[in-house]
Every structure is written in structure tokens, then in C-alpha cells.
Amino acid sequence: MEFRDTPDEAAFRTEIRNFIATEQPKDAPRGAADPFAMEGTRAWLKKLADRNWIAPAWPREYGGAGMSVMEQFIFNSELAEARAPRPFGIAVGFAGPTLIVHGTEEQKKKHLPEILSGDVVWCQGYSEPGAGSDLAALQTRAVRDGDDFVVNGQKIWTSGAHWSKWMILLARTDPDAPKHRGITYFIVDMKSPGITVRPLVNMADSHEFNEVFFEDVRIPRTNIIGEENRGWYLAQTTLSFERSNIGSAVGARQTVEDMVTFAKEHVADHMSTLAHNGSLRGELMERYIEAQVATMMSYKIVSMQAKEGVPPGHEASVAKLYGTELNQRIYRTGMKMLGLYGQLDGKSAGPEAPMKGRVKYMYLRAVANTVEGGTSEIQRNIIATRGLGLPRA
């Protein structure tokens, strides 16, 4: 792994730091808030768009900055270190790159400029009540009717559907084909008649997820990406340009640092159990070391991409598995540190809530980390079969 910047990379890092120092908004939302609810965030995204930094790793001909893998890594890590809002989501990470590779010219001209403006959110219509880890078992149907497809079915755990303009949807178009071969990849206008979005409020009292119901929803045939009945293979194409997960690794370390700062400031008062539980000092140290390990995993992945020119396979699963389980360990430690005061949140207790209620919220929210994006069990299977070469059970 290479930890040192080249002269050009060092200059780029300085450029980003200077930009953040002068332009970063002070009122950006954290967590699951509507990404466009705060004017500071909208203005920030506009400034990134002006520099072609909404999707900086996209090729220049499609409005990106044409960054190298290492430049993208530096960009992400500096925004994470500054706790600045980062361009994120399905639009930038999946829908846009998929359109670049597989979309028609008409689809690219229509959708890519919107994504690059930073003003449009997309959602992902993949999981269903009976098709989560076994996604190819999905049953949402799309039936050809003239120049349209008529869609009926349900999706679940659809992040951001309540504020999205477009959805990338997987639907079964050939029920007689083997389950991986009869699926088609669609672009769906979320304002189409027949779409119903219902909120799913998680146990952290946060509305991120939704159920989405389709009742005779008409989708133009021109909204198919790629070939009919070949959508599964598009969905499995890993098209994001930077998958090191450096933002999450930095965020984990910053959270532990915030906990340590809080512990130092409240070591002898009623807000902390640290004075009565000396083992917590060692536990905080362990979490900090583990966060540094997550950072090393990120460097390993980006070094593979930069030197070998291949995307990580099982290595990405290792990082995902480790990072999401680390999140849960970090917030369990936080709850131990705060004791009963860890039950207070910013909504009910206001300024009395330790760390503004962040530990309670994330202690509850982090439960989903090891499910979303592929369960820990799925990640372990990938590591075992693709990484270690073990036989399938």
C-alpha cells in the first residue's frame, strides 16, 4: 500500500482543503434528513457541481472531473475528515454510471445533466418482502403492452423513495425463464400514476425507508436500460469508481474521538460511567484501534484499484462486513459510557442529551447496518467462496 501522495496528489489535496475551508456550509443536516432540506446543503452541492465534483470520477465527456482512483480517494477522505456533505446515493453511485455504460444516448442526455446538477435524488427498487438476500427471487411483474410495460408488485426498504424523482427498478418480464434471466432493468418516474409510497419508520424513529407499491404502472419501453430480460447482469455490474469506503472508516474514527473527548470532559460527573468502570478506557482504546484497521482496509482496496486496475471483489465484502459490525461495537461502547443518560435523545431532552443524542440514535440505527447492502451472512459467504476458495455448502 502507498500512503504517500505524489506531488500532483498533494497539490490536489491542498486544493480540496482550501475549498472546504472557505465553502463548507455550517447548517448541513446529518443522518437521514432530506438531503435538500437545508439551503446550506443546496448551495454546497451547487458549488461542487460548478467544479464537476458531484460525480468527480465520471469521465469528462459525461460531465465528471475524470479523476483517477487515488484522486477520488483523496476527495472522499478530505470531505469525510471535514465532515462536509458528500455527493451520495443511487444517482451518483449506481444509476449514473450504469447509464454511462449501458444507457442510450437519449437516456444519457436526459438524466446525466440532472444528476450532475446535484438537484435530483434517485432510489433503488430492488428488495421485496420475499426477495432480499435472494434478490433474484423477486416477483414484481412487468408485462408488455404495446410501447409500454405495465408493472404490478411491491418493493420494500426503498431508501429515499419519498423524496426521489426517479427509481431504478428490477422487474420480472419473463416468468418462464430461469430466475436470473427473466429480469429487466427500468427507469421509473416516481410521479407515475399507480405508485404509492408508504413510510417505514425504523426503531431509531427515523424515516429513511419506504414501501413502494405498483398498481398498473405504465413504463415506456424506452425506459429500459440495456436489453430486455438481461437486467440481472446490469444490476450485478459494479460500476462505482471508488469503493474503498474511506468515508465510513473516517467517520468511525471521528465518532470514537468524539466519545473520548466527551469522556474526558465528563469523567467525574453524572453524565458518564467512566469513573466507575475503568474497563471502558480499554474498550474505547480498542474501538479506536479497530477504526484505524478499517482505514487500512480502505487503503488496501484503493491501492488494488490504483495499481492493478481491477475492482475489489471479496475485499470489498471484508471491508463492508468489518465496518458495519464495527459501527455496532462503537455505539454499544458509547451506550456503556453514557449509562442511563444514553437513553436521552435530542428530540425529547434537547441540550440535556449527551452528545446531542447521537449515541442513542446510532445505537438503534446501526442494527440495520449489517442487513442493508447485503447481510453479514451474505458477505461471509462471498469471502469464503470467492476469497478463500471454499466449496459452497
Predicted confidence (pLDDT) per residue in 220-235, tens digit: 999 999 999 999 988 8
Higher pLDDT, 130 or 288: 288
pTM: 0.87
Beta-carbon contacts of residue 164 (< 8 Å; ≥ 6 apart): 121, 122, 123, 190
The mean predicted confidence, pLDDT, of the chain is 88
The pLDDT of residue 40 is 63
* Mean pLDDT on 176-200: 96
pLDDT at residue number 237 = 63
Average pLDDT over every residue of 214-220:
98
b/e string for 132-151 if b means 16 or more Cβ within 10 A?
Answer: beebbebebebeeeeebbbb
**Span 244-265, pLDDT tens digits:** 677 889 999 999 999 999 988 8
Q: What angle do CA 342, 346, 347 make, to 5 degrees?
A: 120
Which triple of cell numbers denotes residue 379?
458477505
Section 139-166 average pLDDT: 96
Residue 272 has pLDDT above 80, yes or no: no
Residue 352 has pLDDT above 80, yes or no: no
pLDDT at 364 exceeding the cut of 70: yes
Which of the given ranges, 86-95, 207-216, 240-249, 309-318, has the highest pLDDT on average? 207-216
Alpha-carbon gap, residue 52 to 65, rounded angstroms: 5
At 216 the three-state DSSP class reads strand
Q: Identify which has the larger pLDDT, 238 or 180.
A: 180
| pLDDT for 241 beyond 60 | no
Catalytic annotation on 242? yes
pLDDT at site 314: 86
| Sign, Cα dihedral of 236, 239, 220, 230 | negative
Please name the helix (run of DSSP H) or strand (run of DSSP E) that holds residue 320, with its range, or none.
helix 314-338
pLDDT in tens, 96-152: 989 998 999 999 999 999 999 888 899 999 999 988 878 889 999 999 999 999 999
- pLDDT over threshold 60, residue 161: yes
What b/e sequence results for 343-368 when a residue is b if at least 16 CB atoms lie within 10 Å of its CB, and e otherwise?
A: bbbeeeeeeebbbbbbbbbbbbbbeb
Nearest-angstrom CA–CA distance, 171 and 320: 27
Collapsed DSSP state (helix, strand, coil) of residue 385: helix
Cα separation, 164 vs 191, whole angstroms: 9
| Fold entry, domain 7-87 | Butyryl-Coa Dehydrogenase, subunit A; domain 1 (1.10.540)
pLDDT reported for residue 243: 57
CB 296 within 8 A of CB 324: no
Strand 166-172 versus strand 207-220 pairing type: unpaired
Say if domain 246-387 classifies as CATH 1.20.140.10.
Answer: yes
**What pLDDT is stored for residue 93 in this prediction?**
82
2.40.110.10, 3.30.1280.10, 3.30.930.10, 3.40.640.10: which CATH number matches 122-235? Answer: 2.40.110.10
**What gap in Å lies between CA 296 and CA 253, rounded to an integer?**
12
Q: Is the pLDDT of residue 23 over 70?
A: yes
Task: Give domain limits for the chain.
Answer: 7-87, 122-235, 246-387
Q: What is the C-alpha R_g of the chain? A: 22
Residue with cell 484505524: 292
**What pLDDT was estimated at residue 113?**
92
Q: Which of 78, 208, 242, 315 is catalytic?
A: 242
Once rounded to an integer, what is the mean pLDDT over residues 211-227?
97
**pLDDT exceeds 50 at position 30:** no
Looking at residue 309, its pLDDT comes to 66
pLDDT at position 16: 95
Interatomic CA distance for residues 273 and 290, integer angstroms? 22
- Name, in order, each residue with C-beta under 8 angstroms of 328's C-beta and a sequence gap of 6 or more: 366, 367, 369, 370
State pLDDT tens for residues 296-315. 999 988 888 887 666 677 88
CA atoms of 354 and 341, how far apart (whole Å): 7
Distance CA 374, CA 279 (A): 33
Query: Is pLDDT at 43 greater than 90 in this prediction?
Result: no
Strand partners, 188: 167
